[in-house]
Copies of this chain bind each other. A is one copy, B any other.
């Protein structure tokens, strides 16, 4: 607080929304960002193959995304690993994706169809659970009075103690209502799933307890036998959201 002048009379600062949006305005770069929503670090080569462009092209895209602050990079020998810059970035991307229009993409192989089906069923969304499973969790929690959404999502007192019973430490050190709950529009089903700190804690717990497993460089979640039992016992989830092949949630409910 040393100088009374707010600014030199010649220039001022504005957030450059267009510059940021330009980074996402390209199909390939957008695909890269969405791939990185799995929360993991990918190498440049992996991303090149995933996005189906030449390595040189990938380099240029990664340069832009890193310079723009969307991605963080880490070099290990001749490898260049990138990941999303942070949870803020992931959340903004998710929000944006929820607003985005849909686009038809061709499905070439049976393998690709299976992959899509698995993604549709259960996947990670940065640090929480998405897909039909994630939506079912959020909706069942709401039905059971663990979660309310009237004016925005929050755990109820019952929800907080339910979390405690599972062995998930509640977010805040003192008050139960402090938990950071958010919902996030699921782009495969167009319904809300649970995100925020509580969503992340739940996902972490499920991984720790081996309810679910996830291979690296993919967002696909597999529900284990232990997990099926746990989700049935703790939430009464139906069989069809616990088994990939049976999953069928209608979009735009």
Most buried by B among A6, A7, A105, A179: A6
Instruction: Check A248 for interface membership: any CB of B closer than 8 A.
Output: yes
Which B residues are in CB contact (< 8 Å) with A98? 15, 88, 92
Which B residues are in CB contact (< 8 Å) with A172? 148, 150-151
Instruction: Check A229 for interface membership: any CB of B closer than 8 A.
Output: no
CB closest chain-B residue, reference A154? B178
Complex partner residue of A179 from B11, B18, B151, B179, CB under 8 angstroms: B151
Instruction: Check A64 for interface membership: any CB of B closer than 8 A.
Output: no
Report the count of interface residues on A (CB-CB < 8 A): 80
Does the CB pair B154–A105 fall under 8 Å?
A: no
Which B residues are in CB contact (< 8 Å) with A181? 152
Majority secondary structure, A binding face: mixed
CB distance from A68 to the nearest CB of B (A): 7
Q: Which of A22-30, A53-61, A206-214 contacts B (4 or more CB under 8 A)?
A: A22-30
Does the CB pair B91–A95 fall under 8 Å?
A: yes
Does the CB pair A97–B17 fall under 8 Å?
A: yes
Does the CB pair A21–B30 fall under 8 Å?
A: yes
Complex partner residue of A175 from B31, B100, B157, B180, CB under 8 angstroms: B157
Does the CB pair A20–B152 fall under 8 Å?
A: no
A-B contact pairs, 13 of them (CB 8 A): A1-B248, A4-B248, A11-B105, A13-B105, A14-B102, A15-B103, A16-B102, A17-B96, A18-B25, A92-B96, A151-B171, A154-B175, A154-B179
